[in-house]
Amino acid sequence: MTVENLSSNKTFGGWNKQYSHQSKTLNCAMRFAIYLPPQASNGQKVPVLYWLSGLTCSDENFMHKAGAHRIASELGIAIVAPDTSPRGSDVADDEGYDLGQGAGFYVNATQAPWNKHYQMYDYIVDELPALVESMFPVTDKRSIAGHSMGGHGALVIALRNSDAYQSVSAFSPISNPINCPWGKKAFTAYLGRDMTTWSDYDASTLMRNASAENGKSFVPALVSQGEADDFLAEQLKPEVLEAAAKNSGYPLALESHEGYDHSYFFIASFIEQHLRFHGSHLSVS
């Protein structure tokens, strides 16, 4: 596989690097960014936090705006931020910001024309970690986090793959996409009108049905929500996620923060808490 290094920037003793590679899963070129803490340059393998961004974002937003490198450097955690969807002139798109390129929703599309490229769930769960673990000095210990659409993706992926992740966190996640406008639009396009297929990608449904029996384990979860978020009532629905956790006894810590909105100002304010949460479960703090 040809992997091209697009940029390298030293920060807090480590390196933030951006790469491009040809994805077999998505049938197109994909970008991802990785922060390698200084420990990774000193012969030590480090665990990885995967960060999934939200609507209209790319692999760059979190790395440039969240202010995560200082704490990741201290803790010795690598951060991998993939793009939010397939991209390219031959990749299906939509005029709306909430569908198509930039809005992959971390699902495996089953409907044409989306199913040719939009297999983001498999890309995040399988292809990207395999690539990262083959290229960089990292262990196979993973945690996952995200914001908004990416928070939805992080929760769904952790809930469906509890053996692969040590912890999960989300800022302002789309908690119940089968019952909100963003989710209904995307799922209808990507998955079709049979709503029985949607529940596999709904964090609230998955958390309500979660069980620690038969060798399965719960992935500890932290969710932060701003109370001044313009999307709170119509799109995000954290109260549904909280009720689902109570129903199954899921270890969810859901925090509300007065005055904070949906922006990266909110993420930057609490990213240290989230990184230390993941660090405690990745055994680095």
Bridge-based pairing state of the strands 14-23 and 3-11: antiparallel
Whether 148 is a known active-site residue: answer yes
Write down the residue that tokens 């769930």 correspond to.
121
Set 53, 58, 143, 148: catalytic member: 148
For residue 141, the SS3 value is strand
In b/e form, how buried is each residue of 85-105, taking b as 16+ CB within 10 angstroms?
A: bbbeeebbbeeeebbbbbbbb
Residue 78's contacts (CB-CB under 8 Å, 6 or more residues apart) are 34, 35, 36, 37, 40, 46, 47, 48, 49, 72, 136, 138
Whether 152 is a known active-site residue: answer no
Q: Report CA Rg, the chain.
A: 18
C-alpha torsion sign, points 195, 197, 199, 202:
negative
Set 69, 117, 152, 262: catalytic member: 262
Set 85, 229, 278, 281: catalytic member: 229
Active site members: 148, 229, 262
